[in-house]
Amino acid sequence: MSVQKLIDHLTTQLETLKSTGLYKRERLIESPQNAEITVNGKKVINFCANNYLGLANHPEIVQSAHETLDTWGYGLSSVRFICGTQTPHRQLEQAIARFFGKEDAILYISCFDANGGLFETLLSEEDAVLSDELNHASIIDGIRLCKAKRFRYKHNDMSDLRNKLEEAKGSRFKFIFTDSVFSMDGDLAKLPEICDLADQYDAFVGIDDCHGTGHLGQGGRGAAELLGVLDRIDVITSTLGKTAGGAAGGFTTSRKEIVDWLKNRSRPYLFSNSVPPSLVGAAGKALELIQKSTSLRETLTQNTQKMRAGLEGAGFTVKLGPTPILPVMLGDAALASQMAEKLLTHGIYVIGFSYPVVPQGQARIRLQVSAAHTPSQIEQAIQAFKEVGKELGIVK
């Protein structure tokens, strides 16, 4: 069969995406990642990076990346178990485990891979995995790869989770896995209740803490620390590509036997290249900065409160939640994308999200606040929201 048939099919599909407003056009950023970035030659304030503490491009992290590059080289041309493990890789894994109070950790090239290589490595036909319906795509894909029975419980619905645990009775292992922070809504998983149910049904609990690690909790140990259950969570996956420096890399931290088994059997670890040393060095520095002081987390909290108060005061509906993710609810998909376009002309870079990323009729603009934003940048954003909101008839 000629590839032209596939090309014709994709051309039609792409045209459908364009005509239904679902085609993704990527904007070219003409500067490093920061609270202020350059787009189309114009400086705009950025409210859509996962740069919660503003550590992407922090000078000490960049310096550490340079130093590790000079000392340990650019790339390893090997997976970890053949000849891709240097001293800094092990040091970072141990630092991550200590940070979360766990026994050991395993590095992956991304958290997508950490989630992709978790479930099928630990579970088989006799087991059950219970997963929140709004879990991240990488968790969904990871679970698809494993042979365990799958139970999808309604979002944060503890009575549905209990029903599913009842159904899963008799399975050898029962693994409840949830995003700790749901990135489209900014809400937290009900971790204390989930841990209680796990105790009751002899299950164990894992979380993906990508949107919590570094900036939530007193010590930055994420959503589980914030909710007081860090020691009750058995498996944590997370990323180095958001708060912890923002470049790339992921990890799983847990009991040493679990980590050891993952190092022996997890396919994205065994069959993919080692994380570059410069990333490892920089991530280690990011972890150090996260632990050194609470001041960036305090600034982030103040910035988030100021932004929420300003938007709500102007008449916008902002979903409730304790995280720096502020979903400004608009309902209509066309309105959300129109608003984002207009805000950009006011120097505010945000993105409108609509179906299928969020449910039908719940289109929104998702703001991600950073400790790097200055009070005046937050005020500028609130002012722009007021002006555009009035122009579009969203607020009075």
Using CB under 6 A, list all residues that contact ligand PLP.
110-112, 136, 138, 179, 183, 208, 210-211, 239, 241, 250
Q: Supply the DSSP symbol for 232.
A: G
Asked if 64 is an active-site residue, the reply is no
Which residues, in sequence order, are CB contacts of 79 under 8 Å at separation 6+? Answer: 269, 270, 271, 272, 273, 274
Nearer to ligand PLP, 209 or 394 (CB): 209
- Which among 242, 285, 373, 386 is annotated as catalytic? 242
| Residue whose token pair is 């990508």 | 210
Please report how close the Cβ of residue 240 comes to ligand PLP at its closest, in angstroms: 7
89 carries an active-site annotation: no
Residues in the chain: 396
Whichever of 111 and 146 has its CB closer to ligand PLP, that residue is: 111
Beta strands in the chain (DSSP E): 36-39, 42-46, 104-108, 128-132, 149-153, 174-179, 181-182, 187-188, 204-208, 235-239, 250-254, 325-331, 348-349, 351-353, 363-368
Cα within 13 Å of Cα(259), Cβ side: 22
What is the Cα–Cα distance from 118 to 40, expressed in whole angstroms? 41
> Which residues have C-beta within 8 Å of that of residue 375, sequence separation ≥ 6?
303, 306
The one-character DSSP state at 80 is I
Annotated catalytic residue: which of 138, 171, 183, 274?
Answer: 183
CB of 160 vs ligand PLP, minimal distance in Å: 21
CA–CA separation, 224 and 231 (whole Å): 8
Q: Which of 175, 128, 123, 179 is nearest to 156 (CA)?
A: 179
Q: Give the CA angle between residues 11, 13, 16 to the nearest 5°.
A: 110
Nearer to ligand PLP, 278 or 377 (CB): 278
Considering the candidates 58, 89, 102, 211, report the single residue annotated as catalytic. Answer: 211
Is 266 among the residues known to form the active site? Answer: no
Give, in order, the Cα–Cα distances in Å from 155 to each of 71, 128, 237, 365, 368.
47, 18, 19, 21, 22
Least distance (Å) from ligand PLP to the CB of residue 223?
A: 11
Nearer to ligand PLP, 111 or 194 (CB): 111
Q: Which residue has the tokens 């490892």?
A: 280
Output 183 or 370, the one with its CB closest to ligand PLP. Answer: 183
Q: Pick between residue 185 and residue 208 the one whose CB is nearest to ligand PLP.
A: 208
Q: How far is the CB of 110 from ligand PLP (least distance, A)?
A: 3
Give the nearest distance from C-beta 60 to ligand PLP in angstroms: 22
From the CB of 314, what's the least distance to ligand PLP, in Å?
28
Active-site residues, by number, are: 183, 211, 242
